[in-house]
Amino acid sequence: MTEYLAVVPLVCVWLGGIAAMMAEAFRSRGERMPIAGLGIIGLIAAGASSVLLWNRHAVSFGVVTADNFGLFVQLVLIVVGILTLALSAQIIERDEINAGEYYALTLFALGGMMLMATANDLLVIFIALEILSLAVYILTAIRRESREGAEAAFKYFLLGGFSSAFFLYGIAFTYGIAGTTRLDRIVVVMSSQSAGNEILTVLAMGLLLVGFAFKVSAVPFHMWTPDAYQGAPAVVTAFMSAGVKAAAFAAFVRVFLSAFGSLQPQWEPIVWTLSAASMIVGVVAGVAQRNVRRMLAYSSIAHAGYLLMAMAAGNDIGKSAILFYLLTYALTSVGAFGVTALVASRDSANDDLSDYAGLARRQPMLALLMTIFLLSLGGFPPTAGFVGKWYLFTAAVSAGDWALAVIGVLSSVVSVYFYLRVVVMMYMSDETSMSPVTEPSTASMFALAVPTAATFYLGLLPSRVLELAIQSIATIL
């Protein structure tokens, strides 16, 4: 039975998705069933099994590796999943979204993300990528009456199809060079790579980079992000922004810092360029937005640039900083988009900046929580965002990437403008928006309180989590 241990967390999550489908199938019209609870039970079981697998380095079928790196990301994704389901219970009832369909798709997507984080084979990474992508495409358009959602899902689907094709061609070229798609075997071949295959190697890395850059929303492969984040239900956007980015970066790191680690001088200039472009475009376009969700979408693009900066550095500080920042960004992003979901109503997204006018007078708790999340995204002490950015910039400086570090610091300073603009509108606007705001339920407050507490804990006492990040990244390098 030991050969199946690595897939136990995945099975728990997917069984939760199947249970949600079965519950919906047998639910009578008008009957209320705790379908979200079934998913949360599956996620708790997956979290417990991930903790028990720590330091065991279990391998299943030769292609799924439950090393500490994959388990760290899995635990991040499980936390994101629990918070998303807790927040969703109120939102999907308000928006009249089919509960069984929604929870099943969310859990299947989450399982795909977890598989992507632990896969040790390029083909398995591709399969995991398609599992999560297909589910997220449908979730983006799950409100069938929404024309914005349908348009966003269609754009996301088309561009995602192109990126998948690039990724698959990258796998084909890699197989042509190495004769295998297993990452632990590719690293051996690439370490002794001869000059005769240099062109094929560059092509393979370039095509794989395109596939990963699309999923992490790096410029110039970011075009889908603003439309998808705006068109999808806000709670789906929260799940997308945190989960997809964490899973994609986990696979990105495993492939390029491990399998292609010996070829870092070849791919580092490309990642450097993607990082700089993402930070610059993210903050410049974000400043011009009046739609809060589009602003947060461009913020997500900039944050992808910060993470790519640590990848380009490629040193020990940068490698551990990637995991720490994935955790901090995932929690903060779920919190910020969670607030936008509650500010929205059944009939309107209420995502214009003017809809947040006087929110501190209408819903002071939501305004306070949104302020905390925005300050963390901006990198203000004593929040987790400040510590995360400090380590990312330190990694760039330690590697001698002074220009990239300067770009990162300047873009972070500029981003403060559009984060604080929302805070000013909530607290200092003379006008008060008449847009209705959803009264948060107990589950919704729990889903926002956990990221809030984590934001301050990671900002004030980050050492323990940083140690775990260092130990985790060491298992794949």
| Residue 196, token pair as written in the block | 């005769």
SS3 182: strand
What is residue 33's predicted lDDT score, i.e. its pLDDT?
A: 66
Residues 6+ apart with CB under 8 A from 336: 238, 296, 370, 373, 374, 377
Which structural domain, as residue segments, surrounds residue 413?
2-476
SS3 291: strand
- The answer to whether the bond into 226 is cis (omega within 30° of 0) is no
Beta-bridge partners for 182: 121
How far, in Å, CA of 391 to CA of 257, rounded? 18
| Residue 364, token pair as written in the block | 């002071």
Nearest C-alpha neighbor of 66 from the set 16, 123, 2, 109: 2
Judge whether 367 and 336 are in contact, CB under 8 Å. Answer: no
What is residue 309's predicted lDDT score, i.e. its pLDDT?
A: 93
Judge whether 477 and 187 are in contact, CB under 8 Å. Answer: no
DSSP one-letter code for 196: G
For the four alpha carbons of 314, 319, 321 and 326, in that order, the dihedral sign comes to positive
Residue keyed to tokens 């999907």? 92
The C-alpha angle 40, 323, 36, rounded to 5 degrees, equals: 10
pLDDT along the chain (477 residues), means of 10: 84 91 76 76 94 90 90 94 91 83 92 93 93 92 85 89 91 90 87 67 90 90 88 89 91 90 87 94 90 91 93 85 92 92 79 84 90 92 91 90 91 90 86 73 90 94 90 83
Give start and end residues of each alpha helix (H) in 288-435: 292-313, 316-343, 359-362, 364-378, 384-398, 402-428
What is residue 76's predicted lDDT score, i.e. its pLDDT?
A: 94
How far, in Å, CA of 172 to CA of 426, rounded? 52
Residue keyed to tokens 């992508």? 133
Residue 144: burial class (beta carbons within 10 Å; 0-12, 13-18, 19+): exposed
Please state the domain count of the chain.
1
3-state DSSP helix/strand/coil percent for the chain, to nearest 5? Answer: 80, 0, 20
Count of helix runs (H) and strand runs (E) in the chain: 20, 2
How far, in Å, CA of 460 to CA of 467, rounded? 15
What is residue 188's predicted lDDT score, i.e. its pLDDT?
A: 85
Beta-bridge partners for 121: 182
What is residue 195's predicted lDDT score, i.e. its pLDDT?
A: 43
SS (H, E, C) 99-125: HHHHHHHHHHHHHHHHHHHHECEHHHH
pTM here is: 0.94
